[in-house]
Amino acid sequence: MKPAAFLLLVGVGFAEPLRIDPAGWKLWSQRAATAPKVSIDATVSRSGKGSLVISGNSNAAVHGGWENTLSGIVPDRWYRFTAYYKTQGVSHPNYQVLPRLDWRTAQGKRAGVPDYVYKTKQEGEWTRTWLEVNAPADAAGVVLQLYLSNAPGGMVWWDDVSLEAVEAPKARQIKVATINLRPSNLASREANVEAFVAAADKAAPGKLDVILFPEGMTVVGTGKSYVDISEPVPGPTTKRLGEMARARNSYVAAGLYESEGQAVYNTAVLLDRQGRLVGKYRKVYLPREEYESGLTPGNAFPVFDTDFGRVGMMICYDVFFADPAKALAAQGAEVVLLPIWGGDETLAKARAIENRIFLVTSGYNHPTYIMDPYGERISEAHERGTAAVATLDLNRRYVEQWLGEMKQRRPKEARTDVSAPAPAIDR
């Protein structure tokens, strides 16, 4: 049965101080020494009724803010929390502005683990933050928490806070195939591409949403150099892969060597179901062997919107460094496609776990597999000419018993205000 949506709290008219207690808003901090200063501001408001204010009050240890305890939560029901905020003197709101849902049992104890409200969108002067989440199985209430943390010179105004019951999200399933093939003794890039297309048609027939080929599919086994095999993008290889994408009604991703002006890049391309070029990623981290072979590195980590969700791409040596996957996840990538020659399997697993992404690899010396956000391989192609195939649910929550859902927690606890020094500097 479809649950009826109802409003537990919305825009509580913060302009009138007497309305704080009826609405349940109270100051919270773990101890008096870390408490911020809270107040009502009748002059700043999104809704025209005033706003809740938190000030760091020049306290270097500040952590806390407003709380509102609500009852009537139905276990396992889905809820959407929404709030709007604006800031002053807050340089890193992802870490310093902290809205949470802290669930409670009927006895008032913590139920499950808190949910961090991490999704944001700028709407004029205000930032909308929201999260859709299901209440724990033993939840009977929830504490809405609007905090300011580690921002002694900061202020945040909150308005239009709501919590409403919503329908549980439907499964958002995609079927992915990744190809394990290493052609040899073929005379041209065109012959290589045809071998990969044939292998995909044989090993992974039927309806697919994504087909992944490995790094450098145009050069492996040909005996030719990266530069000799390079081509423009769009070019002959993207044209052929586009024909395949259109015939299979599937997105297709693959690694090739791209020439533009004087530069040659190690590039991954993504074609849509109609065979059109969605975008390309130029490998940022080149090993010395590729520099010595005449390649030029890329300088960006783009993400691409598809009809099923947001996709990012890395290539091979990128997996040795944390920032490519981190940058893709920060931009909302749910699936990262990794054409790879060879690379550290432990580090690849770490990239999936630390960013809570699906990681799909297609490799030669590195295994070909589909990995979930827990770092588990859910499908693997062990033999040449075979495919790893799996159906992924992009709406599934990956929750750990003690930590909660790290996909939402990491963005709110990431210390973007602390920069790492450049490596190898003599100090």
Q: Where are the domains of the chain?
A: 7-166, 173-394
Which residues, at least 6 apart from 158, have a Cβ–Cβ distance to it below 8 Å?
14, 51, 52, 53, 54, 66, 83, 84, 85, 146
Contact by Cβ (8 Å): 176, 392: yes
For 354, the 3-state DSSP assignment is helix
Provide the CATH number for the domain formed by 173-394 in this structure. 3.60.110.10
Token pair belonging to 370: 């589909």
Contact by Cβ (8 Å): 56, 92: no
- The Cα–Cα gap between 181 and 16 comes to 69
- The Cα–Cα gap between 247 and 129 comes to 41
Contact by Cβ (8 Å): 313, 327: no
Count CA atoms closer than 13 A to 270's CA, side-chain side.
Answer: 24
Residue 4: predicted pLDDT: 31
Helix (H) or strand (E) holding 180: strand 173-180
φ, ψ (nearest 5 deg) of residue 198? -65, -40
Residue 290: predicted pLDDT: 97
Residue 11: predicted pLDDT: 41
Residue 101: predicted pLDDT: 97
Q: Assign domain 7-166 to a CATH class.
A: mainly beta
Token pair belonging to 414: 């990431």
Residue 362: predicted pLDDT: 98
Residue with tokens 């390309």: 280
- Burial of residue 115 (CB within 10 Å: 0-12, 13-18, 19+) is buried
Count CA atoms closer than 13 A to 92's CA, side-chain side.
Answer: 15
Residue with tokens 């025209």: 48
**C-alpha distance from residue 158 to each of 25, 52, 79, 125, 267 (Å):** 12, 5, 20, 12, 44
Answer positive or negative: Cα dihedral of 292, 293, 299, 305: negative
For 115, the 3-state DSSP assignment is strand
Helix (H) or strand (E) holding 196: helix 189-203
DSSP string, 313-342: E--GGGGGSSHHHHHHHHTT-SEEEEEESS
The span from the first CA to the last CA of the chain, in angstroms, equals 65
DSSP letter, residue 40: E
Residue with tokens 């691409």: 304
- The Cα–Cα gap between 38 and 399 comes to 33
List, in sequence order, every beta strand (DSSP E) within 72-196: 78-88, 97-104, 115-116, 119-123, 126-134, 141-149, 155-166, 173-180
Count CA atoms closer than 13 A to 378's CA, side-chain side.
Answer: 18
What is the model's pTM?
0.91
Do domains 7-166 and 173-394 share one topology? The answer is no
pLDDT in tens, the chain (427 residues): 233 333 444 444 333 322 223 368 999 999 999 999 999 998 999 988 889 999 999 999 999 999 999 989 999 999 999 999 999 999 999 999 999 999 999 999 999 999 999 999 999 999 999 999 999 999 999 999 999 999 999 999 999 998 999 999 999 999 999 999 999 989 899 999 999 999 999 999 999 999 999 999 999 999 999 999 999 999 999 999 999 999 999 999 999 999 999 999 999 999 999 999 999 999 999 999 999 999 999 999 999 999 999 999 999 999 999 999 999 999 999 999 999 999 999 999 999 999 999 999 999 999 999 999 999 999 999 999 999 999 999 999 999 988 999 999 999 999 988 888 888 766 6
Residue 422: predicted pLDDT: 83
What count of other Cβ atoms lies within 10 Å of the Cβ of residue 48?
Answer: 9
